[in-house]
Structure 1
């Protein structure tokens, strides 16, 4: 299958990345850049030199490798690939259960707008595009019969699909999870002023003294402190460019909304990631369902723009 990376719209601001080690607050800044789950990843850590950060960054790379081994759709040896192939994953890693439990919470709160079992729809359209043909309505309905997170059972003994031919994608939450994990590891090492971008962004502390500034769609910037932010857009990546089919599929209806990108903030990058994925599929009134999760549309209290 052709690999389609999920396009991300949030990035560390150029001002932050260009600041170098000197800052108004007198803090050194160490940087790391690499890849995480198919997305560009960047980390900025205040209060430590590049040399001092080297061993920490080596540890983060090991953690990213572990995360890839669990959640990557494109590694044939990942736990997720095994689950999709075998329809069951026995004795799953606790991290897999944790992430799927968080996904289930967002699935329930959004009344199914966020549903990681939409992978059969993605596969159908990607395959048809590769074959140079349009997808038929009967094919879509057949794929939809294999969608529904309520048909996935979770337990420490096994994760099991209860309908044949189901498949999961964690692209709408795993990058947020990776962001949270890297931030947590750095915090546990005693660091307090951190910006992590592993496909989604999480900021801890106040950066160089005035918070961490990041850019979002529309040319806006927001200042983050102890928050995460995620942006999704249905047409951010096109699975079928000829038909204008985006990479985020609505599990509840056939038509794809074109409401534009949605930026969500939360204490957790994983929840922000999943909530933004749901938000682009929801009407304005349906977005009220995000409030019990603590997810906020950018511009709400707690974020300065």
Structure 2
């Protein structure tokens, strides 16, 4: 569900995509030349997205790219809150879903496991809070600070990850008014699914950015993929760059969460990164980035670390080695976990 005044901004990019696939010749690379990368740019799960594939057989790369785009579309029909016919939307509408897609069972189970590990700092049942904030900011003269305490307290009665039952045959929501959002982890999951598809096909170089980033192999020119993360308030300020891939000294996946990415109204402190315990936006950090072996883990942890208390955050990250985190504070200073 997209807040009324939100514009989804991006603060992470993978450097190395150099040419769009449209208008380029189809066929094998010329002998002795580096293969021309195939690049796709579009949207996925409501975010600007891109993929760059390196393969000596360009026709094969284009064919596989089309299959990946079809797979993204299929997964959106499961996870999207923008589509009323998606499996997730139907679950939220009926509070029950029989014979759920295996991907929904898998990702919701992972989300509930992270909710338990983070003591509810990450909670996929916060969708009622989105609904409340959306309705609030659609009202003329809405308080820019957000809904009142009484309204939030009422909605929080419908938030609680422990009241969700999941198995391969049925998903059920256990309280009136409950709703699931997987926006804090689904982009990472879809990224991992596409990465696995391309790895199985033997691509020597892949960079995927579907809201969260993952890379393997090398660019067509032989150099490493690089991810750059910028300050959400000063996009010209690059906070850090990382070599991406699956080799020594590289990170396979990188995710970033920032309140500035989706704001509800004029107050920058009112945004989509809710603390499920208070119903208010979490503002301990301006931005959290996490590197991990899989984008699903990086995505979920970047969301959880945006909310959880610092000591608990360090313990949560330590439980997912070799994950690392970069924490941008409100004063512009950058901390790391584990501490550098």
Give TM-score scaled by structure 1 length.
Answer: 0.90
Higher deviation after alignment, 2-11 or 238-247: 2-11
Residue matched to 1:189: 201
1:102-137 per-residue CA deviation (whole Å, 9 max, x = no partner) reads 112211221211111111111101111011323221
Deviation at 1:223, TM superposition (A): 0.9
- Aligned: 1:120 with 2:128: yes
Distance across 2 between alignment mates of 1:52 and 1:32: 14
Partner of residue 297, structure 1: 325
Match of 1:280 in 2: 306
More helix by share: 1
Going from structure 1 to structure 2, the CA distance change for 1:281 and 1:124 (only over 3 Å counts) comes to same
Find 2:80's aligned residue among 65, 72, 82.
72
Tell me the equivalent position of 2:102. Answer: 94
Q: Which residue pairs with 2:71 in the alignment? A: 63
Q: 1:127 to 1:186 in 2, by over 3 A?
A: same
- Secondary structure at the aligned position of 1:238 is classed as coil
Unpaired runs of 5+ residues, structure 1, are: none
- Residues 7 and 278 (structure 1 numbering): CA distance in 2 closer, same or farther, change over 3 Å? farther
Q: Which runs of 5+ in 2 are unaligned?
A: 21-28, 232-237, 247-251, 327-335
Change (3 A) 1:246 1:80: same
Q: Say whether residues 1:173 and 2:185 are aligned partners.
A: yes
How do 1:232-271 residues align onto structure 2 when only pairs under 5 Å count? Answer: 232-242=257-267, 244-255=269-280, 256-271=282-297
Aligned partners of 2:187, 2:92: CA distance in 1, in Å? 19
Deviations 1:150-184 (A, max 9, x none): 11000111110011100011111111111111111
In the alignment, what sits opposite 1:17? 17
8 Å CA contact 2:9–2:260 kept in 1: the answer is no
Displacement of 1:209 in angstroms is 3.1
Q: Which has the higher contact order (CA 8 A, sep 6+)?
A: 1
Whether the 8 Å contact between 1:109 and 1:290 is mirrored in structure 2 is: no
Matched residues in 2 for 1:66 and 1:90: separation? 19
Q: Cα gap change, 1:213/1:190 in structure 2, threshold over 3 Å: closer, same or farther?
A: same
For the pair shown, the structure with the greater C-alpha radius of gyration is: 2
What is the CA–CA distance in structure 2 between the aligned matches of 1:87 and 1:93, rounded to whole Å? 15
Residue in 2 that maps onto 1:230: 255
